[in-house]
Structure 1
């Protein structure tokens, strides 16, 4: 017998789990199925550095992240457990006139959204982050309420709370096609049979363009490698030390278990066609030398602010694919001309922090209600007709990460 449901979500990463949570919470009595061909939150979600940045230059992201902080507290209360967000604050170090101007704009943005932010001097910065060399700093901003988290745990909280509300979560089930009828998506074809649904959400991460392509949509994103390193433990890295953004070095850092987790942008980011990314991300070799060539090629910029860089042992290397777009904006909403089909993708390295806002907005759209959040900058059709698998497009998306200066 063919299965029927109100909503099918394809992909069990943090976006898919968040959408399932909000839809089930706000639509009691409606049926939801979440389908994941591997395990929940095991691809991009679990590999994220998970900087929960509220104050950022892209204003459109801020309400989404504020929603994530809000829902995190609600889920903690529901489950009687803690997500243990590390509210250590974010330090923004500007070491050039151009970055000083950017920082001044950022501090004004913080005021717009009633977020605490203020300037600190070099001595205060050094006390907060003993590893940091601030001699070149012209201005240092501090945003005390910024945090980082365990991304896998946050994704799992969404899934657990969704399951508590009756969401049927199926792992090991692969969606192999869409059921369509004259411009309307009616459901999905899976390895476990067909499922009819009022609405289908494509939250398949870096594989999302493959599913969207079946409705004739060129999804404007590409899988681009994100990578970071974690040092050996040292007294230089207090566990309550703040996160640090170093835009002049195109780098970021945060404490991690007595060590320092840091990322730095390489000049040419690794990109792949969604067609070439294996179904199980653990089968992909992101770097044969665990990023050491990239690290030493670009490390000099970081060493200006982290003098112990060349002396510090590296304990872990973590890499994964993020869905990047040329303008570093998300890809959210409806495909023009297609009914019953929504997309939640293009995280651009910020997927953990915006997950609450993505889940809320897409769930409301799936329920046929107005989106309470402004997704106008995230529209799928904003680049016009594109080939998401073409070399030119892939390199445009890779350049967005290579040029990134935020976390």
Structure 2
């Protein structure tokens, strides 16, 4: 590639689902986009995601972010003339404690304000929809018909294919070694092979590895690598493919169908985290030092989940997935400028990157172009924390991020 062909309007670092979505929305604006990654697209943390598309939430801005993903899926399926295997099975939220009931009422109110279908269910309705769910008579439960899940790799690939159709360039085996700056701000990147690419706009979507690239600039993203995990049972005839996503705040758990079995996740009370320096290039070869096989977490949360799902005792665990999510101390995303002109961050997925991927792509494209943001961008401002309190290499800061993971009760 000649020097002339190495100049772009925007460079996006990281071809996970957030990078692919960002490239899609930016290229749709007519921007000349370069998407860089050292490995195959969507092969790192994206591939480990449970990929829930939950619009049932008490956070209006978060709901708007996920709404945009649903619109993006419809757009991609139409423009690419492909079926992305979207599972629009709905979601069912059930709880009995005062805290869980309040959260369910709030998410029902907020979701209905957006004219989404929300229905309160009694125990008979619950038994009809989920025969294997054991719920007490005083349960508060709502069903949101317009929720579901999707294969994260398929969605990321669709974003990427559409971006390339709009002119975006993908460069793999390109490990970014340095972000280049001059007196005006960002001016490009230098890769490990010595090749440089140039742009005045750079979007960093490198997930938990972002801290390593930003450290030489004296910057620290307010997020840390925290464990996200789930288990998958062997196929069971009771788990039908159209079973809704189940969210149980009292058990700090969620579940959905997966290849004939049940995929279930437990919000991690083990507070497992690590330094970005410990993450290998191939995330699938990584395991956390603490509770590396997830047994302590499973033992801790098993009884609470089994009270709702008695059949758990009968299911055989076929797989355990220990993933890495980038969590912030307040559980909100990081989308916006990092203080150096032209340097942007779209990360801090907090376990919801797939569901909000369309929102990430649209918001970062609007911020770069100067358009009015479609949602409350200030909620995701990467600079909202005191810089002196942000250090992803510090265990105390990482613990704050892990506590945000522990406190998450939505799907």
SS of the aligned residue for 2:61 comes to: helix
1:383 aligns with 2:391: no
- Aligned equivalent of 1:325, options 325, 328, 334: 328
Question: CA 1:273 to 1:136, structure 2 compared with 1: closer, same or farther past 3 Å?
Answer: farther
- Bigger CA drift: 362-371 or 18-27? 362-371
Q: Is the contact between residue 201 and residue 341 of structure 1 (CA under 8 Å) also seen in structure 2?
A: yes
Q: For residue 251 of structure 1, report the CA deviation from its aligned partner.
A: 0.3
Contact persistence 2:123–2:137 (CA under 8 A): no
**Deviation per residue, 1:190-240 (Å, 9 max, x gap):** 124011102011100111122233332221000101010011111221111
Match of 1:57 in 2: 58
Q: Which 4+ stretches in 1 moved above 4 angstroms? A: 286-289
TM-score if structure 1 supplies the norm length? 0.96
Tell me if structure 2 keeps the 8 A contact 1:95–1:136: no
C-alpha contact 1:213 1:219 (8 A) present in aligned 2: no
1:399 equivalent in structure 2: 403
The residue number in structure 2 matching 1:210 is 212
SS at match of 1:387: coil
Partner of 2:111 in structure 1? 110
Residue in 2 that maps onto 1:129: 130
1:88: how far off? 0.9
Structure 2 spans left out of the alignment, 5+ residues? none
The corresponding residue for 2:244 is 242
User: CA-to-partner distance for each residue in 1:303-325, whole Å, 9 max, x for gaps?
Assistant: 11011212210011112101001
Matched, 1:13 2:9: no
In structure 2, C-alpha distance between the alignment counterparts of 1:292 and 1:140, rounded to whole Å: 30
Q: 1:273 offset after TM fit, Å? A: 1.1
Cα separation, partners in 2 of 1:263 and 1:196, compared to 1, 3 Å:
same
Which residue in the other structure is 1:24 paired with?
Answer: 27
C-alpha root-mean-square deviation of aligned residues, in Å? 1.5
SS of the equivalent of 1:353 reads coil
Matches within 5 A, 1:61-76: 61-76=62-77
Partner of residue 37, structure 1: 38
Q: How many aligned residue pairs are there?
A: 404
The equivalent residue for 1:195 is: 197
Contact 1:202 1:211 in 2 (8 A): no
Contact 2:226–2:402 (CA<8 Å) still a contact in 1?
Answer: yes
Which residue of the partner structure matches residue 366 of structure 2?
Answer: 364
Offset, 1:182:
2.6
In the alignment, the residues of structure 1 paired with residue 391 and residue 271 of structure 2 have an alpha-carbon distance, to the nearest angstrom, of: 19
* Partner SS, residue 240 of structure 2: coil
CA distance in 1, matches of 2:243, 2:203: 39
CA distance change for structure 1 residues 183 and 391 in 2, over 3 Å: closer, same or farther?
farther
- How far apart are the structure 1 equivalents of 2:292 and 2:336? 38
Once the two structures are TM-superposed, the CA of residue 136 in structure 1 deviates from its matched residue by 5.7
Say which of 268, 272, 275 aligns to 2:274.
272
- Distance in 1 (CA, whole Å) between partners of 2:371 and 2:111 is 30
Unaligned 5+ segments in structure 1 are none
CA distance in 2, matches of 1:108, 1:369: 30
